[in-house]
Chain A
Amino acid sequence: MIAFLINRLFQAAIVMFVISLLSFSIQDNLGDPLRELIGQSVSEADRMELREELGLNDSFLTQYFRFAGKAIQGDLGTSYFFKEPALEVILKKLPATLELVFGATVLIIVISIPVGVYSAINPSSLFSKVAMGISIIGISVPVFLTAIISIYIFSVELGWLPSFGRGVTEHVFGTWETGFFNVDGLLHLLLPCLSLASIMLPLFIRLIRAEMMEVLQSEYIKFAWAKGLSPRRIWFMHALKNTMLPVITVGGVQIGTMVAYTILTETVFQWPGMGFLFLEAVNRVDTPLIVAYLIVVGAIFVITNTIVDLIYGLVNPTVKLVGEK
């Protein structure tokens, strides 16, 4: 276990290094950060002065080493737009995004497991067919379209739900403010979470259904039937547990992907999270913020995958973690 973690940490360090190098090397192609900092009629001489001040005239390697030297001490640079340390800006926005991903994850778990299991057990029922049909549509409609359509239906036409933002938030600790503890905050969460979940939900329903159907055909389930166990015990104790193994693996990867999908959802809903922040940073060529974002998201991917591997070992004791004897 310890050896596994150390191994993972080492991998993470390499991943972070590669990400920082990549994001640093693309920044020259993102555009000129000065354009967003100054007015249109500022003279060339003043531009050059500011460029020099920002260190943009140095060679790639000089800039990279300056960045890396600071990054090791936890300083990922200062955002041009927010004028605050980039890492701080991102961490301030992180709770909003995590809440969105958490809300969507809860929706996915609560909906996909029952629906998937039911349609595996009763594949020919009407409900299963309808669920499969809807899931096909869900998979093929892009998330921003789902988001805009749901805004028009639920906010503009019906007037039930708010159209943008986080609403009232309550302070929890540090910079963490949450919308989970009051009605207004929850109402604001509903549409963005649904839109975000809409991409992954069909995938999980189908995955759980397919896995469950396969497990139900296996020898040990047949043996369980022969032994005369109750259907409930067979379905939920024996079959479901083995169904969940691949689902957890995929789920771990997908949660990371979902953080990336928040870029679209957050932009449409003006959700003040990391994804929206990133898109804005790209538009404004806020390079320190872009680099910091990529590194933070890389870290999230590495962490979720590590946790998934750990859970995997817990759910199925036969799985050996790398490094374990």
Chain B
Amino acid sequence: MNKLTPVLTGGAIAIGLILSANAATLKMAYDADPVSLDPHEQLSGGTLQLSHMVFDPLIRWTQELGFEGRLAESWQRIDENTVRFNLRKGVKFHSGNPMTAADVLWTYNRLKNSPDFKGIFEQFKKLNVIDDHTFELVTKGHYPLVLHTATYIFPMDAQFYTGTDEQGEPKDKLVKHAGTYASTHVSGTGAYRVSSREQGVKVVFNRSSTYWDTTSKGNVDKIILTPIKEAPTRVAALLSGDVDFITPVPPNDHKRIKASDKVDLITLPGTRIITFQMNQQRKVEFKDVRVRQAIVHAINNEGIVLKIMKGFATAAAQQGPIGYAGFKANLKPRYDLKKAKALMKEAGLEKGFSVTMMAPNNRYVNDEKIAQAVVSMLAKINIKVNLKTMPKAQYWPEFDKRSADLMMIGWHADTEDSANFSEFLTTCPNKNTGAGQYNSGNYCNPKVDALVKASATETNPAKRAAMLQEVEQILYEDAAFIPLHWQNLAWAARKGVNIAAVINVQNFPYLSDLVIDEK
């Protein structure tokens, strides 16, 4: 026994050493920090990135756009309107409270009341709690996107958020413009706890010792997130070793980062489409499909990707990117100046006409330069464009007013699904239903509307994909809008920080699984 003790002690020390050697700190810089600790306050990339650190979703996306259970261990469709989920057992919130189906119900009800999130849950009728670890999601009709939507449910600690704070306000109060308990206090099931936060300066996270996912190989026990707004400074901070991991990485710096032997650059094709819309109500010429086709044929979007985006984008001819249900591989970019000129002649407009154009100058990557390139391309078919660019803060009110004949808009589908693009961008605008809310072109084709509507209740994936592909085909033939490209995404990290395994096209890195090699 006495002989054994030193061995055991030595072993314990050795294990301790291995553990402490493995534990790593990640210093990372994003362009912004989360606006609030309340996961339901604002539907934005920043909020979801935070949610994936402090909370866990029921289901999450894999890199291949498949589904992976997190807090939901398994699920099965009971009938056309119902999917039953089985919750993981033994999961605890940071507060120590156990996570049960009651928390999921509480979270679901809060989502239904959040102005930003309730749109996503529009098709859901109710959530039935069966027992502590089983519940059912019931939809209004046949709804194909139940699992897509479940990636937005990050169970919150109902007990923690119930009651009133020092001011006598309910702890779960959801207000966008005033401080609330939930915007500064948080209790989730996630791998990280917020240990300090100074908004706009830094957020410090520590790995939770009670994290349920003990199979995760992630060894980052402390994360310091600093927002660095200016792209050159962000890149400099990485290159000088002040931070380990940055995103986004501006296209102009890709070459230099690739050339460096200290850092890695990782890019993925993104899902945000950049387009121009042609307003048929303001400009009668745009009602003619030949004119719209001529414009699309006159714009060399592959050239824009090559020259302006430095190859850091994918030229597009449709709304949804590859991997989405509606993606149709035969739809190719169609730059052809000769054909464009011929089409203009056919429409009797070879002499051209004048239009106005507006674009933001700080919203999308190189948005202003892209707009300028489009102006010079349209000049070749004698369309004179009067371009006005402005900061996004001023741009969106102009967009809502439909202030120009050609307006730029980028779109990312919150549901990661093709139908979402059409719902907002290419269905007939209808103030009452909210359809076509961002369709500044006023393109309206009842056939598209019917197909999009039908796809919302089609639970057979193959049939549904066929519908959405037909939509893309019609939009292509109608030249409903000017497709430019899908913006790529880029991350850069110090060598040894294995981000490639944890990033995804949704741009919420699963940092709990991040492994940092020993130096």
Contacts and interface: CB of A to CB of B under 8 A. Distances in A.
A38 interface: yes
Contact of A282 (B232, B393, B397, B437): B393
Interface in A6-37: 29-32, 35-37
Interface string B223-249: 000111110110011011110000000
7 contacts: A41-B43, A46-B115, A82-B199, A155-B240, A156-B236, A165-B201, A276-B229
Contacts of B232: 148, 151, 268
Given A151-B233, A267-B229, A42 B115 contact: yes
B183 A32 contact: no
Nearest to A47: B115
B174 to A, nearest CB: 12
Contact of B424 (A30, A41, A44): A41
A264 to B, nearest CB: 10
Interface residues of A, number: 48
A81 B230 CA distance: 19
Contacts of B393: 30-32, 35-36, 282-285
Contact of A267 (B230, B396, B434): B230
Given A32-B397, A49-B115, 17 more contacts: A31-B392, A40-B438, A43-B119, A44-B431, A78-B177, A78-B178, A82-B200, A83-B177, A156-B236, A159-B240, A163-B236, A164-B237, A165-B226, A267-B229, A268-B232, A268-B233, A272-B201
A58 interface: no
Contacts of A272: 198, 200-201
A41 B395 CA distance: 16
Contacts of A60: none
B500 interface: no
B36 to A, nearest CB: 8
A82 B180 CA distance: 11
B112 to A, nearest CB: 13
Contacts of A84: 179
A164 B233 contact: yes
A142 to B, nearest CB: 14
B394 interface: yes
A280 interface: yes
Contact of B177 (A37, A156, A267): A37
B229 A280 contact: yes
Interface in B97-128: 115-117, 119
Contacts of B242: 155, 162-164
Contacts of B200: 82, 272, 277, 280
A152 interface: yes
Nearest to B184: A83
A50 B391 contact: no
A31 B226 contact: no
A225 to B, nearest CB: 53
A29 B397 CA distance: 10
Nearest to A282: B393
Interface in B169-190: 176-180, 183
B145 interface: no
Contacts of B226: 164-165, 270
A54 interface: yes
Contacts of A29: 394
* Most chain A CB within a 10 A radius of its CB, from B392, B411, B438: B392
Interface in B374-417: 391-397, 400, 411, 414
Contacts of B241: 159
A234 to B, nearest CB: 48
A269 B159 CA distance: 42
Contacts of A37: 42, 176-177
A54 B179 CA distance: 14
Contacts of A32: 393, 396-397, 400
Contacts of B119: 41-43
B396 A151 contact: no
B176 A50 contact: yes
Given A30-B394, A32-B393, A284-B393, A38 B236 contact: no
A270 B434 contact: no
Nearest to A159: B240
B82 to A, nearest CB: 26
A43 B177 contact: no
A38 B176 CA distance: 8
A270 B180 CA distance: 27
Interface string A285-314: 100000000000000000000000000000
A135 B226 CA distance: 35
A270 B233 contact: yes
B445 interface: no
Contacts of A268: 230, 232-233
Contacts of A276: 229
A265 to B, nearest CB: 11
Interface in B288-316: none
Given A32-B396, A155-B236, A163-B236, A42 B230 contact: no
Contacts of A78: 177-178
Nearest to B241: A159
A31 B42 contact: no
Contact of B396 (A31, A81, A163): A31
B402 to A, nearest CB: 14
A-B pairs, 9 with minimum CB distance? A31-B393, A39-B43, A83-B179, A155-B240, A39-B116, A46-B115, A31-B394, A272-B201, A285-B393
A42 B114 CA distance: 10
B195 interface: no
Given A37-B176, A163-B242, A50 B115 contact: yes
Interface string A244-277: 0000000000000000000000011110100011
B240 A39 contact: no
A155 B235 CA distance: 11
B21 to A, nearest CB: 25
A73 B199 CA distance: 26
Nearest to B434: A43
B237 A41 contact: no
B233 A31 contact: no
A165 B237 CA distance: 10
A87 to B, nearest CB: 15
A41 B394 contact: no
A236 B123 CA distance: 82
A36 B394 CA distance: 11
A204 interface: no
Contact of A152 (B236, B394, B424): B236
A285 B431 CA distance: 26
A35 B42 CA distance: 11
Contacts of B391: 31, 283
B115 A38 contact: yes
Nearest to A85: B179
A175 to B, nearest CB: 11
B162 interface: no
* Most chain A CB within a 10 A radius of its CB, from B237, B414, B438: B237
A280 B393 CA distance: 11
A44 B240 contact: no
Interface in B338-368: 362
A158 B230 CA distance: 21
Given A32-B396, A163-B236, A83 B116 contact: no
Contacts of B43: 38-42
B44 interface: yes
* Most chain A CB within a 10 A radius of its CB, from B36, B227, B228, B393: B393
